[in-house]
Amino acid sequence: MTRPSHPRPPSLPPRSCPKPPRSLNALEAPPDVHSPPPLPTPLRSFLNDSYELSTHVVPAAFPRSTPDIPFPEMPTWTPDKQEWNANVRKTADAMIALRVKQWNGELESKGSRTPLWVCVNRNISDGPTDDWRDNSRDILHFFLHYMPASCSPNKLPIHLPRLDPTVAEGRRLHGFTSRINVGIGHSLGGCTVTRAAITEPALFSSLILVDPMIRPHPKGELSITSATYQFTVGAIARQIHWPSRDDARKRFLASPFFAAWHPAVLELYLECGLYDDPNGGGRRSTSLATLD
């Protein structure tokens, strides 16, 4: 019996957005770092015993699309709901104003050349204010320059070696000869993995998108729509720090949204969606990339 799969469309529909996607900045080889950073959190084990999980560190896409400039001050929590909402909107307005300046070329600084790092998880079966484009570039940078050519049960070093430039050129033209790469993305991840596939379609066999944050381009000049503004406000208002994972679990279970989840799914979210804060407690982690 063959595994069911949605058939590939015979042809792609035309783009409904009148403007092309914003271009991705060219990738450059990152500077050599003699002492790569250690893993930011202790090694984890996968909840499913039939898989072995290993975590690796690779350089992020270089240079970045955003400059080295101070981030707007985050809102200070207050139990006064009206004051809290005002603080959140003040931060949202500052973030959007900064982004518009970047779009209009009004920032003196160019893209940051400070080296950054990306963590990727590799699962072996026994039986990817930041510019979202940089997340797409991080995915492509990893696929082109660091992802091993084929799956293997052998252990890999935490710091993966950079591949020969000819490997990247071959992958751009022909993709992976010994891999089937399925891009899976949720929300921001759904948008950025799609943008990566638009730039380098040969690297992907297919995409699975879960509630991807892909919004049509404004009809007028580049701007922030009211819907996008509300998403920005909602993101800023989300709680990102808890005294402990147990406290986070209690807070999530008190929410009707999270309380409806299967307990095993919530435990996975607590394990993979939070990281231990060096200053105490737990924080939400950024988007994760998985390496087969």
Residue 182 is predicted with a pLDDT of 92
Residue 124 is predicted with a pLDDT of 56
* Residues 282 and 245 sit within 8 Å (Cβ to Cβ): yes
Residue of 76, 98, 94 lying closest to 85 (CA atoms): 76
Residue 190 is predicted with a pLDDT of 92
For the cut 70, the answer to whether the pLDDT of residue 261 exceeds it is yes
Residue 242 is predicted with a pLDDT of 84
Read off the pLDDT of residues 82-94 as tens digits, 9 standing for 90 and up: 998 999 999 999 8
Measured from the Cβ of residue 5, the count of other Cβ atoms closer than 10 Å reads 7
For the cut 50, the answer to whether the pLDDT of residue 152 exceeds it is yes
Residue 289 is predicted with a pLDDT of 32
For the cut 50, the answer to whether the pLDDT of residue 287 exceeds it is no
In the chain, the DSSP E strands lie at 51-59, 117-125, 182-186, 206-210, 241-242, 274-276, 282-284, 289-291
Q: DSSP of 4-60, one letter per residue?
A: P-PPPPSSPPPPSSSSPPPPPPPP-PPPP-SSPPPPSS-----SSTTEEEEEEEEEP
Q: What is the mean pLDDT of residues 3-32?
A: 76
Say how far apart CA 49 and CA 248 lie, in whole Å. Answer: 25
Higher pLDDT, 188 or 260: 260
Say how far apart CA 216 and CA 16 lie, in whole Å. Answer: 8
Read off the pLDDT of residues 200-225 as tens digits, 9 standing for 90 and up: 999 999 999 998 888 766 665 556 77
State the average pLDDT for the chain: 81
Residue of 194, 188, 39 lying closest to 117 (CA atoms): 39
For the cut 50, the answer to whether the pLDDT of residue 6 exceeds it is yes
Residue 290 is predicted with a pLDDT of 31
Residue 223 is predicted with a pLDDT of 64
Q: Taking the mean position of all CA atoms in its chain, how far away is CA 217?
A: 21
Residue 4 is predicted with a pLDDT of 53
Residue of 201, 135, 180, 138 lying closest to 292 (CA atoms): 180
Partnered with residue 123 across adjacent β-strands are 53
Residue 217 is predicted with a pLDDT of 66
Read off the pLDDT of residues 112-127 as tens digits, 9 standing for 90 and up: 898 888 888 766 554 4
- The dihedral region occupied by 281, where left means phi > 0, alpha psi between -120 and 50, and beta the remainder, is left
Higher pLDDT, 292 or 156: 156
Residue 127 is predicted with a pLDDT of 42
Output Rg (C-alpha) for the chain, integer angstroms.
21
The percent helix, strand, coil of the chain (3-state, each to 5) is 35, 15, 55
Q: What is the mean pLDDT of residues 95-116?
A: 84
Measured from the Cβ of residue 195, the count of other Cβ atoms closer than 10 Å reads 21
Burial of 111 (0-12, 13-18, 19+ CB in 10 A): middle
